[in-house]
Amino acid sequence: MLPHGFEFAGVSCGIKTIPGREDLSLVVCRSGAVAAGVYTTNRVFAAPVALDRERTPSSDIRVVITNSGNANACTGERGLRDAQEMARLAATAVGAGPEQALVMSTGVIGEFLPMDKIAAGIASAGKQLGGDEAAFMAAVRGMMTTDRGPKVAFRTTTVAGRDVRLAGMAKGAGMIGPKMATMLGVITTDAALSPESAQAALAAAVEESFNAISVEGHMSTNDTVLLLAGGAAGGELIGDDLQSFQHALTELCTELAKQIPDDGEGATHLIAIDVRGCGARKDADAIARAIANSALVKTAVHGGDPNWGRIVSAAGYAGVAFDPAQVSLCINGHLLYERGAPAPFDAAAVSQSMKANRETTVVLSVGDGPAACRHWTSDLTVEYVKFNADYHT
C-alpha cells in the first residue's frame, strides 16, 4: 500500500503540552527523491516556508522534518536560523547533506522553537524509522494539531505497465493562529518524475484540491504541500503516462483536502460548492470562494436553512461579471432559483435533506460558459466560535 523506498517516524519530544502526544515526524527517502512544493501566498510566511521555497523543486531530497505545536512563524532571523538547524539535524540523522532536507512547522505563532527538544526528538525519530503503516501513521500524528483524527489517502495505479503507489498525509482543521492548526501535507510516491514534472503535477493537483478548500478563509503563514517522488517504480514518466499519474495525484489530493473542512473546527457539515457556466476557471473559483467564505451561507447550512438569497448575493460580490438573469441554483438536487427568479420548492424537504446529511451540495450556474470548479468548506457553528474565542493563550 505504501510507496516503495520511503521510511517514516513520529515521536513525542515535548513541544506540545500534552504528554506523550506526537509532535515531530520524519519522512525519509534514503535514495533521494525528486521534491516539489506549493506554499502559502501570505506575505507573512513562516521560516520553514522560506527555507523550502528555496530548495524546491529539487532532484535530491532525503528527508522532510515536521514539528507540530509551534509554527516558527513571525520569529524573524532567529526563526530562519532555527529552521536551518532543524534541516541540518534531520539530514545528519539519516546520513544526508544539510541541503537535502525540507522543513515544516505548525502550531503557535510568534514563539521560538525549543531547539533542545527538537534535537532530541530528531535523534529519537531517526532510530524509529520504518516502512510500514504503523510508522506512517505515527508520522501523520506527529503533524496534527487541532485535528480530530489523522488525514490520509492512498492510491495504487498502473502506469506504463508498472505499479505506482501514492500515499498522502495532511493536517488542518482551522486555518491559523496561536494554538490553531495550519494546513500541511506530504505526498510520497515511488513514481519516477523529473523535478519539473513533479512541480507541475503538484501545482495542478493543488489547484483543484488544497486551493479549493476553506474553513473560515483565514490564510495561514505556514501552508505547505510537498510531493516526494522516490522513483523506486522505475522509468521516468512522460507524456500520457505522466497524465495518468497526474490523474491519480489529483484524485488523492482531493480526497485528502476534503478531509480538512470536513474536520473543520466545530463543523457539523461539509459544504460542496459547484460553480458552473463561467467564462474562465478563475471566475468560477472567485465565485466559489466568495460563497465558501460567507458567514451567512455557512450559518444557513448549519441551521438547515435553504437560504438561496445568501448564496446568490455572495456570488454577486465576488468581483466577477455575470448576468443575474442567467443565474440558477440547486441545493442537494432541488432547484431553488431559476434564471434570475425564485423557483417554487418544498422548503421543508430541502431543509430535511440538509439536516439529514453531513454533506450539503450547492450547484450554482451563472451562464453558458465552459468553465466550472468545485470548492469545499465547513459550516459555521457555535462550537467554532467557542473554540476560537474561549481557548486563550
CB of 301 to a copy of itself, least distance (A): 8
Number of residues that bind a copy of itself (CB under 8 A): 70
CB of 235 to a copy of itself, least distance (A): 41
Residue 367, amino acid: G
Judged by CB under 8 A, the stretch of 3-11, 58-66, 357-365, 384-392 that binds a copy of itself is 384-392
- Asked if 316 is part of the footprint of a copy of itself (rule: CB under 8 A), the reply reads yes
CB of 180 to a copy of itself, least distance (A): 7
Among 158, 303, 346, 349, binds a copy of itself (CB under 8 A): 303
- Asked if 302 is part of the footprint of a copy of itself (rule: CB under 8 A), the reply reads yes
Among 85, 99, 133, 305, binds a copy of itself (CB under 8 A): 305
Q: Measured between alpha carbons, how far is 192 from 233 in angstroms, rounded to an integer?
A: 7
Residue linked to cell 432547484 = 335
Identity of the residue, 175 or 363, whose beta carbon is nearer to a copy of itself in the bound complex: 175
Stretch 101-140: interaction string toward a copy of itself, x if CB under 8 A: -------xxxx-----------------------------
CB of 339 to a copy of itself, least distance (A): 9
- Asked if 388 is part of the footprint of a copy of itself (rule: CB under 8 A), the reply reads yes
Judged by CB under 8 A, the stretch of 10-18, 73-81, 82-90, 145-153 that binds a copy of itself is 73-81
Identity of the residue, 97 or 303, whose beta carbon is nearer to a copy of itself in the bound complex: 303
Residue 34, amino acid: V
Q: Measured between alpha carbons, how far is 119 from 85 in angstroms, rounded to an integer?
A: 9
| Contact assessment for residue 231 and residue 192, using Cβ atoms and an 8 Å cutoff | yes
In what side-by-side order are the strands of the sheet with 270-278?
Answer: 213-214, 371-378, 270-278, 359-365, 328-331, 334-338, 341-342
For residue 284, the tally of other CB atoms under 10 A from its CB is: 26
Among 69, 174, 230, 264, binds a copy of itself (CB under 8 A): 174
Stretch 7-46: interaction string toward a copy of itself, x if CB under 8 A: ----------------------------------xxxxx-
Q: Measured between alpha carbons, how far is 99 from 106 in angstroms, rounded to an integer?
A: 21
Among 58, 209, 294, 365, binds a copy of itself (CB under 8 A): 294
Identity of the residue, 51 or 327, whose beta carbon is nearer to a copy of itself in the bound complex: 327
Q: Measured between alpha carbons, how far is 100 from 149 in angstroms, rounded to an integer?
A: 30
Query: Any idea which residues carry the catalytic annotation?
Result: 182
Q: Measured between alpha carbons, how far is 237 from 194 in angstroms, rounded to an integer?
A: 8
- Asked if 177 is part of the footprint of a copy of itself (rule: CB under 8 A), the reply reads yes
Judged by CB under 8 A, the stretch of 161-169, 190-198, 226-234, 312-320 that binds a copy of itself is 312-320
- Asked if 258 is part of the footprint of a copy of itself (rule: CB under 8 A), the reply reads no
| Site residues (vs a copy of itself, CB under 8 A) | 41-45, 73-76, 108-111, 174-178, 180, 216-221, 293-296, 299-300, 302-310, 312-317, 320-322, 324-325, 327, 337, 340-342, 347, 351, 380-382, 384-386, 388-393
